[in-house]
Amino acid sequence: MGDSLLVMKFGGTSVGSPERIRGVADLTAQMAASRPTVVVVSAMSKVTDLLLDTLRRGEAGDQQAVEAGIQNLSDRHIGAARELLPADRQEAVIDQITVILDGYARIARGMLLLRERPVRAVDEAVTVGEQLSALLIAELLQSRGVAAARVDAVGVIATDDEFGAASPLMAETAERARATLGQLLDSGIIPIVTGFNGSTLSGQRTTLGRGGSDFSAAIIAAALEASELWIWTDVDGILTGDPRVVPDARVLESVTYNEAAELAYNGAKVLHGRTLQPLVDHLIPVRIKNSFNPQAPGTLISDRKSEGHNVGAITSFEHVTMISIEAVSLTQSGAQLMSRALAVTARARAEVLLLTRSSFRQNFCMLVRTEDVEDVIEGLREELALELAHGYVHPFEIDHSVGLLASVGEGMKGTSGLAGRLFTAISARQINIIAIAQGSSEITIAIVVRADRLQDAVRAVHEECNLGSTGYRPLESTREPVG
Ligand code: ADP
Ligand code: ASP
Ligand code: MG
> Does residue 135 lie in a domain region?
yes
Q: How confident is the model at residue 413 (pLDDT cuts 50, 70, 90)?
A: confident
The helix/strand/coil state of 274 is coil
Residue 297 covered by a domain = no
Query: Does residue 472 sit within a domain?
Result: no
Cα atoms found within 13 Å of the Cα of residue 448, Cβ hemisphere only: 22
Distance 146 CA to ligand 2 centre (A): 26
The three-state (H, E, C) secondary structure of 279-293, written as one string: HHCCCCCEEEEECCC
| Mean predicted lDDT score pLDDT of the chain | 93
Q: What are phi and psi of 195, to 5 degrees?
A: -80, 175
167 and 41 assigned to the same domain: yes
Of 206, 234, 262, which one is at a domain's C-terminal end? 234
Instruction: Kindly give the number of the ligand 1 atom that is closest to the alpha carbon of 13.
Output: 2
Give the tens place of pLDDT for each residue, 112-130.
999 999 999 999 999 999 9
- Distance (Å) from CA 209 to ligand 2 centroid: 8
CATH code at position 68 = 3.40.1160.10
Compute, in angstroms, the gap from residue 46 CA to the centroid of ligand 2: 9
Helix (H, G, I), strand (E, B) or coil at 373: helix
Distance 122 CA to ligand 1 centre (A): 25
Does residue 174 share a domain with residue 43? yes
- Please answer whether residues 361 and 397 qualify as being in contact, where contact means their C-beta atoms are separated by less than 8 angstroms: no
Residue 211 lies in a domain: yes
> What was the pLDDT predicted at 118?
96
pTM more than 0.75: yes
> 70 and 198 share a domain?
yes
* Alpha helix (H) residue ranges in 36-118: 47-59, 63-84, 87-114
**Whether residue 134 sits in one domain with residue 26:** yes
**Claim to verify: residue 159 and residue 23 sit in the same structural domain:** yes
In terms of residue numbers, what domain contains 456?
313-464
213, 216, 221, 224 alpha-carbon torsion, rounded to 10°: -140
- The CATH number given to whatever domain includes residue 413 is 3.30.2130.10
24 and 155 in a common domain: yes
Last residue of a domain, one of 204, 234, 264: 234
Q: Clarify whether residues 88 and 207 are in a common domain.
A: yes
**Which atom of ligand 1 lies at the shortest distance from residue 263's CA?**
23
Whole-angstrom distance, CA of residue 451 vs CA of residue 319: 9
* Distance (Å) from CA 56 to ligand 2 centroid: 17
What count of residues does the chain have?
483
Mutate to test the pocket of ligand 2, among 196, 291, 371 (most ligand atoms within 8 A of CB): 196
Residue 77 has pLDDT above 70, yes or no: yes
* Lining residues, ligand 2, CB within 6 Å: 11-12, 42-43, 48, 129, 195-196, 210-213
Please report whether residue 473 resides in a domain: no
Instruction: Say which ligand is closest to the CA of 288.
Output: 1
DSSP state of 245: T
- Percent of the chain whose predicted confidence (pLDDT) is above 90: 84
pLDDT (tens digit per residue) in 15-37: 999 999 999 999 999 999 999 99
Angstrom distance (rounded) from CA 100 to CA 104: 7
Q: What is the mean pLDDT of residues 396-414?
A: 93
Among 234, 257, 272, where does a domain finish?
A: 234
Q: Are residues 216 and 328 in the same domain?
A: no
Q: 197 vs 267, which has greater pLDDT?
A: 197
Query: What pLDDT is recorded for position 448?
Result: 96
In the predicted model, is pLDDT for residue 247 greater than 60?
yes
**Residue 214 pLDDT > 90:** yes
What is the band of 473 on the pLDDT scale with cuts at 50, 70, 90?
very low
Q: Is 313 in the pocket of ligand 1 (CB under 6 A)?
A: yes
- Ligand 2 mean position, distance from CA 164 (Å): 12
Q: What pLDDT is recorded for position 480?
A: 40
**How far is Cα of residue 214 from the mean position of the Cα atoms in its chain?**
7
Inside any domain, residue 286: no
- Residue 350 in any domain: the answer is yes
Q: Does 54 reside within a domain?
A: yes
Residues 63 and 158 in one domain: yes
Domain count, the chain: 2
Ligand 1 pocket residue status of 270, Cβ below 6 Å = yes
Query: Which of 9, 42, 193, 197 should be mutated for ligand 2, with most atoms under 8 A from CB?
Result: 42
Sequence-distant (≥ 6) Cβ neighbours of residue 116 within 8 angstroms: 59
Looking at residue 312, its pLDDT comes to 87
